[in-house]
Amino acid sequence: MLACVCLTTVCCQNSKKKNTPEAVTEAFAKSFYTADFTHMYQYTTKKSHIVIQNLQKAMNGQPERLEKMNKQQVVFVETKMEAQTDSTASCFCHVTIDGQPRTDKWDLLKEEDEWKVTLVLP
C-alpha cells in the first residue's frame, strides 16, 4: 500500500511539472521546429488548430523541406518566463537548431486547466 501511495505522489508531481508554461513551451517548440504536427495539436489551444492545419497543408506540398525539418536537432538552451497571470503566460525559448541559435516568444493560455500555446494567423 505504501508503494502505491509513493507511486501516486510521484506521478502527480511529474504531471504538475509537465503542466508549467515553460514545459509546455518546450514541448510545443520541439514539435514545431521538427514539424511534428501530431504533438503540435496536443500543446495548443483548440482555436490554434486551424493554424496548424494550414501549416500542415503547406508542408505537405514540400516533402523535401518536411523531411529536413523532421530530422532537425533541437537543443534547448533556456526557456524563460516573461510574464504570467492565472490564465496567460509568455515564454522566450532559446534553442539551437542544427547548431544555429534561434529565439522565439510563445504566448500561452490556460484551457481546461492546462497550459496551451496559442497561435494566431498573421
In a domain, residue 73? The reply is yes
Least confident of 5-14, 29-38, 46-55: 5-14
Q: Which run of H or of E encompasses 33?
A: helix 21-33
Distance CA 114, CA 44 (A): 10
* 78 backbone dihedrals φ, ψ, rounded to 5°: -165, 140
pTM of the model: 0.82
pLDDT tens digits along 27-48: 999 999 999 999 999 999 999 9
6 pLDDT more than 70: no
| Sequence-separated contacts (24+) of 63-68 with Cβ below 8 Å | 66/35
In a domain, 8, yes or no: no
Phi, psi of 45 (to 5 degrees): -65, 160
- Residue % of the chain over a pLDDT of 70: 85
Q: What is the CATH number of the domain that holds 46?
A: 3.10.450.100
Number of domains the chain contains: 1
The whole-angstrom separation of Cα 112 and Cα 69 is 31
- For residue 91, tell me if it sits in a domain: yes
